[in-house]
Amino acid sequence: MQRKSSTNVIESGHHYCKQSKVRLGPSGIHLFDRISGLNLLIDEVIPAEAEWAVAPRQVSIALTNACDLRCPYCFAPKTASILDFDRLISWLIELDTSGTFGIGFGGGEPTLYPRFAELCAWTAKNTDLAVTFTTHGHRLESPLLDSLKGNVHFVRVSMDGVGDTYERLRNRSFRAFQKRLNSLRNIVPFGINFVVNKDTLLDIDKAATLAEKAGATEFLILQEHPANGRDGIDGETAKSLREWVSHYSGGLRLAVSETDADGLPTCNPLPRETGLHAYAHIDANGVLKRTSFDRDGVAISSNGVVIALSELQQKTTARL
């Protein structure tokens, strides 16, 4: 269930948005302001299960599998697939009215989606969803940036390693990448996604420092997953990563995906909101999955996303 709040909520001296979005769930009453990113959880009252939002709190959508980079550790499918614009719009309306707070557009490279700027603008103007996307950053220049201003609430930029490491892995100029970050900081808040493997761990200190100086507000740590014949992060590198996180003293907010949280110090303010209550992924073929790493899921039919969610939940429960 998704409701509107017409009352100012004051928390730590900040005025909460008059039109903050309200989500009812197993952890309580959750209010979210997509402009400031401010969250407020009222956990003194737990709503009845029948009132809980039926859609996940966050949903990522792979708009296309197309990408103009060939990173060796990328797990995204390499088949040519792209989502229909009108189908996307219908899903976004349904997710918005069913309690989803935020949509994360990805791929592939989402800026290669033919109507990407139009999609972001439509979502920002016609729904209460927070609009975010994940990108390699090299297409973030005018006029695209100008068209995104005011229509996107947060951007995640992938930066795996710095300098020579980055250029070897991504086959792109690191200096050009830094210029794109400088352009982005004047348009929308952004964070850095950092895939950790044996190569990139050596650069993680420099990467966090550079991200902070560039104006990033978050440093998202993503452990490499097996893909393309690669084994993913090894045990020794994972151990070193945990040590680095425990000793980090910089000014950036560190974040980690739920998939990579094991062994890392985390704080979960919504411990009862797990699985499909918290997150789901839609791939570029229109298949709903628990995570972007899953190989199978439920194809979204003309019945819509909520029906597909119910089918996926039943499928997941049957496996347990």
Domains and CATH numbers, the chain: 2-51 (no CATH), 58-319 (3.20.20.70)
Q: How confident is residue 135, by pLDDT bands cut at 50, 70 and 90? A: very high
∠ at Cα 145 (142, 177), nearest 5°? 80
- pLDDT one-digit tens code per residue, 11-49: 433 344 457 999 999 999 999 999 999 999 999 999 999
Q: How confident is residue 266, by pLDDT bands cut at 50, 70 and 90? A: confident
Q: Are strands 218-223 and 253-256 parallel, antiparallel or unpaired?
A: parallel
pLDDT value for 13: 33
Full-model pTM: 0.92
Please say whether the beta carbons of 95 and 80 come within 8 A: no
pLDDT at 317 over 90: no
pLDDT value for 6: 33
Burial of 10 (0-12, 13-18, 19+ CB in 10 A): exposed
- pLDDT one-digit tens code per residue, 63-76: 999 999 999 888 88
Q: What is the mean pLDDT of residues 74-97?
A: 94
Q: CA 302, 306, 307, 312 torsion: positive or negative?
A: positive
pLDDT value for 252: 95
Most confident of 67-71, 209-213, 262-266: 209-213
pLDDT at 129 over 90: yes
pLDDT value for 3: 42
% of the chain exceeding 70 in pLDDT = 94
pLDDT at 198 over 80: yes
pLDDT value for 60: 98
pLDDT at 9 over 60: no
